[in-house]
Structure 1
Amino acid sequence: MIASILPTYSRAPLAFVKGEGSWLETADGSRYLDLGAGIAVNALGHAAPELVATLTEQAGKLWHVSNLYQIPEQQKLADLLVANTFADTVFFTNSGTEACELAVKMVRKYWYEKGAPERVEILTFAGAFHGRSSAAIAAAGSEKMVKGFGPLLEGFVHLPWDDIEAVKAAITENTAAIMIEPIQGEGGIRPASDAFLKALREICDETGALLVFDEVQCGVARTGKLFAHEWAGVTPDVMMVAKGIGGGFPLGAVLATENAASGMTAGTHGSTYGGNPLGCAIGAKVMEIVTAEGFMEEVSRKAAFLRQRLEGLVAAHPDIFTEVRGQGLMLGLKCKPAPVELVQAAYAQNLLTVPAADNVLRLLPALTISEDDMAEAVRRLDAAALALESNPA
Structure 2
Amino acid sequence: MTQTHDIYTLDTQHYLPVFKRYPLILDHGDGAYLYDRDGRRYLDFLAGIAVNVLGHAYPPLVEAIARQAGRLIHCSNLYYTAEQATAAEKLVKLSGLGKAFFANSGAEANEGAIKLARRHGYRLSPQKSTIISATASFHGRTLATLTATGQPKYREGFGPLPGGFSYVHYGDGDALAAAMDDNTCAVLLETVQGEGGVHVPTRDYLARVRELCDAHGALLILDEIQSGIGRCGHFFAYEHYGIRPDIVTLAKGLGGGVPIGAFCATDSVASAFGPGDHGTTFGGNPLACAAANVVMDTVAAPDFLRHVGDMGDYLRDGLESLRAAYPGRIRDVRGLGLLLGLELDRDGRAIVDACLQEGLIINCTAGNVLRFVPPLIIEREHINTLITTLHRVLAQIA
- Please list every run of 5 or more consecutive structure 1 residues that lacks an aligned counterpart in the other structure: none
Task: Please give the alpha-carbon distance, in whole angstroms, between the structure 2 residues aligned to 1:291 and 1:245.
Answer: 11
Which residues of 2 match residues 20-59 of structure 1 at below 5 A? 20-59=30-69
Task: Please give the alpha-carbon distance, in whole angstroms, between the structure 2 residues aligned to 1:253 and 1:108.
Answer: 18
Task: Please give the alpha-carbon distance, in whole angstroms, between the structure 2 residues aligned to 1:110 and 1:24.
Answer: 45
What amino acid sits opposite 1:271 in the alignment? Answer: T
SS at match of 1:136: helix
Task: Please give the alpha-carbon distance, in whole angstroms, between the structure 2 residues aligned to 1:143 and 1:111.
Answer: 26
Answer whether contact 2:138 2:151 (CA < 8 A) is retained: no
Compute the displacement of 1:318 (Å): 2.1
> Structure 1 residue aligned with 2:304, among 295, 298, 303?
295
Aligned to 1:205: 214
Give TM-score, length-normalised by structure 1. 0.97
CA displacement 1:224-263 (0-9 Å, x = unmatched)? 1011111000000001100011101101101100111121
Task: Please give the alpha-carbon distance, in whole angstroms, between the structure 2 residues aligned to 1:194 and 1:15.
Answer: 42
What amino acid sits opposite 2:364 in the alignment? Answer: P
SS at match of 1:309: helix
Task: Please give the alpha-carbon distance, in whole angstroms, between the structure 2 residues aligned to 1:190 and 1:362.
Answer: 11
Q: Give the stretch that moved more between structures: 80-89 or 207-216.
A: 80-89
Task: Please give the alpha-carbon distance, in whole angstroms, between the structure 1 residues aligned to 2:179 and 2:96.
Answer: 27
Aligned to 2:110: 100
Aligned to 1:190: 199
Task: Please give the alpha-carbon distance, in whole angstroms, between the structure 2 residues aligned to 1:358 and 1:126.
Answer: 16
Aligned to 1:4: 14
Residue 132 in 1 paired to residue 141 in 2? Answer: yes
Compute the displacement of 1:46 (Å): 0.9
What amino acid sits opposite 2:79 in the alignment? Answer: Y
Q: Give the stretch that moved more between structures: 217-226 or 317-326.
A: 317-326
> Structure 2 residue aligned with 1:332, among 328, 341, 345?
341
Aligned residues: 388
Aligned to 1:241: 250
Aligned to 2:163: 154
Task: Please give the alpha-carbon distance, in whole angstroms, between the structure 2 residues aligned to 1:14 and 1:265.
Answer: 47
Aligned to 1:343: 352
Residue 217 in 1 paired to residue 236 in 2? Answer: no
Compute the displacement of 1:319 (Å): 3.4
Moved over 2 A (4+): none
What amino acid sits opposite 2:35 in the alignment? Answer: E
Compute the displacement of 1:213 (Å): 0.1
What amino acid sits opposite 1:304 in the alignment? Answer: D
Answer whether contact 2:25 2:37 (CA < 8 A) is retained: yes
Compute the displacement of 1:358 (Å): 5.8
Compute the displacement of 1:292 (Å): 1.7
Task: Please give the alpha-carbon distance, in whole angstroms, between the structure 1 residues aligned to 2:196 and 2:179.
Answer: 22
Aligned to 2:95: 85
Task: Please give the alpha-carbon distance, in whole angstroms, between the structure 1 residues aligned to 2:129 and 2:275.
Answer: 22
Aligned to 2:263: 254
Task: Please give the alpha-carbon distance, in whole angstroms, between the structure 2 residues aligned to 1:282 and 1:181.
Answer: 24
Aligned to 2:28: 18
User: Among the aligned pairs, what percent are the same residue?
Assistant: 42
Task: Please give the alpha-carbon distance, in whole angstroms, between the structure 2 residues aligned to 1:211 and 1:65.
Answer: 33
SS at match of 1:190: coil
Task: Please give the alpha-carbon distance, in whole angstroms, between the structure 2 residues aligned to 1:38 and 1:111.
Answer: 36
CA displacement 1:51-109 (0-9 Å, x = unmatched)? 00110111111000110100110000100011111211000000000011101100000
What amino acid sits opposite 1:94 in the alignment? Answer: N
SS at match of 2:14: coil
Residue 113 in 1 paired to residue 123 in 2? Answer: yes
SS at match of 1:183: coil
Answer whether contact 2:347 2:367 (CA < 8 A) is retained: no
Task: Please give the alpha-carbon distance, in whole angstroms, between the structure 2 residues aligned to 1:143 and 1:84.
Answer: 34
Task: Please give the alpha-carbon distance, in whole angstroms, between the structure 1 residues aligned to 2:241 and 2:150.
Answer: 26
Give TM-score, length-normalised by structure 2. 0.96
Task: Please give the alpha-carbon distance, in whole angstroms, between the structure 1 residues aligned to 2:209 and 2:150.
Answer: 20
Residue 269 in 1 paired to residue 285 in 2? Answer: no
Aligned to 1:367: 376
Task: Please give the alpha-carbon distance, in whole angstroms, between the structure 2 residues aligned to 1:280 and 1:189.
Answer: 29
Task: Please give the alpha-carbon distance, in whole angstroms, between the structure 2 residues aligned to 1:337 and 1:48.
Answer: 37
- Please list every run of 5 or more consecutive structure 2 residues that lacks an aligned counterpart in the other structure: 1-8
